[in-house]
Amino acid sequence: MKIYLNGKLVDEADAVVSVFDHGLLYGDGVFEGIRLYGGNVFRLDEHLERFEHSARAIMLDNPLTRTEWSAAICETCRANGLTDGYIRAVITRGVGDLGLAPWLCAKPSYFVIASKISLYPPEFYEKGLAIVTVPTRRVGPGAVPATVKSLNYLNNILAKIEARQAGALEAIMLNDQGYVAEATADNVFIVRKGELLTPSTSQGALKGVTRGTIIDIARELGIRESEADLTRYDLWCADECFLTGSGAEVIPVVKLDGRTIGTGEPGPVTRRVLADFRRRVLVEGTRI
């Protein structure tokens, strides 16, 4: 595998960063997860815009322009012979000393990985997931804004561990007020009386690119959609539920906390949205 590291392609074994890199020492950095479908990098410009905004929000110098990032991502995909896969772009604060001070890091480190990803077994896209709510809360917007896709994922990792301990593949995370924020790596949607509802970023939801795609699809299909403050009760009593993310794509949820959602099978709105999503990923994007 070839990795694009600090301006050049290197072999996987040579793709290393210093133990003094503040991305490693403190999680000081940002990243993007992007999908490649049939040689198209899906919604690359939207991902790179969020990438830029995340870096700006934490006052991290972005070492490349958007055009340069696009070229680096496409080059990495081509170098690995990929037409379908998952892309991870990362900027760290760079090498510094053992103190927190980011201004002592001379320059950022950056890299692109292009490989494969499979978050859930294929059968769950047809039958749906049974998931749980976990105790670990989503970091609130008063601490780190949910719109910053940072390398600090410990809360999500703890939630993932708690899901596994409960025998589930995924988990719902609440915010400090008890409202639904998101899953450990995905956004959450429910269908109630024909309306599509999803938590707002003010409740701790990441402004997901796939999330935005689903909202666009709903509007085009004439499905009413809005952001809403959702509790576990709303999910338990929903007609349908599904999760979205660059890695997960669109995956139905049929049970939460032991309670069957809707009919216990992926519902008609979920199936329509999923079908339209799978269609457009093959025609929307940046050719590598």
- Residues designated as active site: 149
Q: What are phi and psi of 246, to 5 degrees?
A: -60, -40
DSSP letters spanning 258-287 = TEEPTTSS--HHHHHHHHHHHHHTTTSSEE
Calpha distance 257→129 (Å, rounded): 11
What are the residues facing 5 on neighbouring strands?
8, 111
Residue 243: CB partners within 8 Å, gap ≥ 6? 129, 170, 183, 186, 187, 188, 189, 250, 251, 253
Residue 192 CB coordination number (10 Å) = 16
* CA quadruple 154, 130, 181, 125: dihedral sign: positive
Measured between alpha carbons, how far is residue 183 from residues 28, 131, 283 in Å?
22, 10, 28
Calpha distance 110→112 (Å, rounded): 7
196, 213 contact by CB (below 8 A): no
Calpha distance 38→14 (Å, rounded): 29
Calpha distance 286→42 (Å, rounded): 7
